[in-house]
Amino acid sequence: MTSDDALDQFGHIARERAFGRHVGSDRLIQAGLDALIAGVQSPSLALLAGLLRNEEPEAPELFDQVLAELGLLFHPPADPRAAKWAMAYWIAGQIADGSLDPVVGTHLIWADIAYDLGYPDELAPLVSCAHNLEGWEESWGVSVEELNEEAVEAAKQFLSNRSAAEAGG
């Protein structure tokens, strides 16, 4: 793992936590260890990486301290709807770049975001992909791989529509 990879991992975990996803202390400590081994420099990083099992409750606070030291703190929008939209774009970006399994990503968008936003039209293709992937049966005559590809394309389309809306607005 390079230092850039380690910093990306920290940023990813920061967003997961900011969007209310549970991240275990073991993952926070491992991210610290990965970063330390990769040569990332931060005053509190060695403290995080060196936490023992009985010290795990200290990990979230130390992780946040390291994020602050590295300038990687992330705060989602204060408005709950805007935060849900930000989370949708973040998850879609991970589906599109291949870092998140389309089954998991589309399910998160369907279950954690679309419902709360009242199933907006912009998310309909991703919600449809979630339904198809969750209910898939061999008898459908379409492979799971094809459904995964459809989900990736739906995520890319969702992201490009955002870019176009932002450019035009």
- The H or E element containing residue 99 is none
| pLDDT computed for residue 169 by the predictor | 43
Model pLDDT, residue 125: 96
Residue 144 to residues 44, 68, 157, 168: CA-CA distances in angstroms? 44, 41, 20, 36
- What does the alpha-carbon distance between residue 55 and residue 48 come to, in Å, rounded to a whole number? 10
* Euclidean distance between CA atoms 80 and 134, whole angstroms: 27
Grouping H, G, I as helix, E, B as strand and the rest as coil, residue 40 is coil
The pLDDT assigned to 167 comes to 52
HSE, CB side, 13 Å, CA atoms: give it for residue 14.
Answer: 21
pLDDT band at 118 (very low <50, low <70, confident <90, very high): very high
Say if residue 142's pLDDT is above 60. yes
pLDDT value for 3: 92
What pLDDT, on the 0 to 100 scale, is given for residue 24?
A: 95
Nearest to 46, CA basis, from 58, 54, 37 = 37
Which amino acid, 42?
A: S
162 pLDDT tier (thresholds 50, 70, 90)? confident
Q: pLDDT of 44-77, one tens digit each? A: 999 999 999 999 999 999 999 999 999 998 888 9
Q: Tell me which residue of 8, 91, 100, 18 sits closest to 60, measured CA to CA.
A: 18
Q: What mean pLDDT comes out for the span 127-154?
A: 90
Q: How many CB atoms lie within 10 A of CB 50?
A: 13
